[in-house]
Structure 1
């Protein structure tokens, strides 16, 4: 899933331009060091206080963790653990790595919470529409029906005692494109939390998924500020999120689109219908973890603000901002739920 540039990280202090460009003593205590690396079809960046002892080595270890998780979760490599699971889980239960099992449990919980608007088993649908390996296309009715028959979170059998995964249906395809980036960020944050010194950091993937650990360097009890992108005018943000020890995830349908016979189709599919969802411009979720923020933003993009309102009310630890398309001569409409003024301020 490509959801980049739906959020913009606000500039905070002087920033080193690469892992090797920092000179000790050259910047103040509120300055940030940026260490980044490509991954998961996008890029990941970690921002740490430039004066933190061992900052570059720490950030590099966190990015190594992300790289290892990409090798585990990708469907683009036949030797990944997820690819092996997709090939064999219909034949019988398959034991998986503990973190992968936990991720599948979380994905299934979001599917149940959303009534199937989110579904990690919708990989066959993404393939039918050409959003995995291409070419992007409108599948025939028969192709869509076949993919729908091989989709459904209720067909996923998870046994926590044995840590095994089974598929009820041959050809079911688990694809973590809508949650894997956030999960990788969470595990990178685990590395940062394990540092010998108290650490604050901002970890983001493609500017659509992030976790804010602690307060910005030099700002005791402060919050990281994240600007909400305006789809109509990228230079005029619609508001600012203020986050600390919390994740932010954004989904939008403006990216990875294709045109066919005069219609535009986005890459976020409604697993209940097998069709691309006609959602708002974007949905941004604040949640305890980046994996939850990613999955919930996808589910709420499919559901929309009216259907999503009651679901959001059940999660007091979650806040949501919908950006709905406005008329040609007006700005988009911002609908916030479950957020206080300390969390989000509209422009």
Structure 2
């Protein structure tokens, strides 16, 4: 079985060695989740899929920044006013996110949620925004203005109008939590894919590794690589679906939170490693940092490896990525 990342999965049910694979696609956290579970029978597999959906929903109602009743929405509505007490789970996720901001010097920043949406990637933009407009768009962005109080488990946003949002990092966190939960319950194999943030464990019922297909960023209907994955995570960040071109230069929908300008130079970054949350943080950060700084950062974390594709079609891999053959578009 091949799984496309990101993109549609091949829906299949198979029975081998008294194991069945069941898959369901649902909308959670405002995104598409594809959940695959290998179990002894179809009824059990479907019940465990329900359990996964319940866990993602629980997390969504903790960290969503667009549901008004969540703790993160309460943090945002009290920006510049007062600290808000949150569950330890939410506090720890925020703490890890800020650590990512620190190690990437702001290339990753959960306060991007306050950014003015001055860039349009729906075909309506005819010219670059003015430098003044770009500068103003990130006035409320800045992870150093997020104050965490570990004693009282509170989050305080110093600037009125500031917002935080976990975005795909939250989807990666949810995928990791669901994998942990299923392993504890004795489920030996499955995949939880939150909008391209994929957490895998075990093998297919036929004993083979999961095959993860990576999309060619210049031909979205084609794969440029299929990578076997037994247990671990893989995430992809890319500009190939949403971008604008001005004066022959390609500008991604991924915005540098420090500058307010779209990133250039890389069309996609795929990161492999043990954790989906961390892999997502790296894939987003590497898009912003670019090839050289991104590779230098990832070298400090040998459990994680990457494939980068530049805007001019070069395929670059980190030194620790183990592949059976050299990749080329």
Same fold? TM cut 0.5: yes
Aligned: 1:210 with 2:191: no
Mapping 1:105-254, distance limit 5 Å: 105-125=95-115, 127-129=117-119, 141-195=131-185, 197-206=186-195, 208-219=196-207, 223-254=209-240
Q: Distance in 2 between matches of 1:344 and 1:96?
A: 47
Q: Is the 8 A contact 2:168 2:197 kept in 1?
A: no
Shift, 1:186, TM fit: 1.5
Shift, 1:215, TM fit: 2.6
Unpaired runs of at least 5, structure 2: none
Shift, 1:129, TM fit: 4.0
Q: What SS does the corresponding residue of 1:67 show, helix, strand or coil? A: helix
Q: Is the 8 A contact 1:89 1:165 kept in 2?
A: no
Residues 336, 263 of structure 1: alpha-carbon distance in 2 compared, 3 angstrom cutoff: closer
Q: Is the 8 A contact 1:240 1:344 kept in 2?
A: no
Residues 323, 141 of structure 1: alpha-carbon distance in 2 compared, 3 angstrom cutoff: closer
Out of 259-268 and 51-60, give the one that drifted further.
259-268
Out of 252-261 and 302-311, give the one that drifted further.
252-261
Q: Is the 8 A contact 1:35 1:60 kept in 2?
A: no
Residues 36, 200 of structure 1: alpha-carbon distance in 2 compared, 3 angstrom cutoff: same
Q: Which residue of 1 is the match for residue 314 of structure 2?
A: 333
Q: Which residue of 2 is the match for residue 304 of structure 1?
A: 290
Residues 291, 217 of structure 1: alpha-carbon distance in 2 compared, 3 angstrom cutoff: same
TM-score normalised by length of structure 2: 0.85
Task: Name the structure where strand makes up a greater proportion of residues.
Answer: 2
Shift, 1:89, TM fit: 4.1
Q: Distance in 2 between matches of 1:343 and 1:194?
A: 32
Task: Detail structure 1 runs of 4+ shifted over 6 Å in the superposition.
Answer: 135-138, 259-264
Q: Is the 8 A contact 1:243 1:343 kept in 2?
A: no
Q: What SS does the corresponding residue of 2:306 show, helix, strand or coil? A: strand
Of 9, 12, 30, which aligns to 1:15?
12
- RMSD of equivalent CA atoms: 2.9
Q: Is the 8 A contact 1:230 1:236 kept in 2?
A: yes
Q: Is the 8 A contact 2:236 2:269 kept in 1?
A: yes
Q: Distance in 1 between matches of 2:107 and 2:12?
A: 40
Unpaired runs of at least 5, structure 1: 17-25, 327-331
Residues 50, 109 of structure 1: alpha-carbon distance in 2 compared, 3 angstrom cutoff: same
Residues 188, 218 of structure 1: alpha-carbon distance in 2 compared, 3 angstrom cutoff: same
Q: What SS does the corresponding residue of 1:35 show, helix, strand or coil? A: strand
Shift, 1:334, TM fit: 1.4
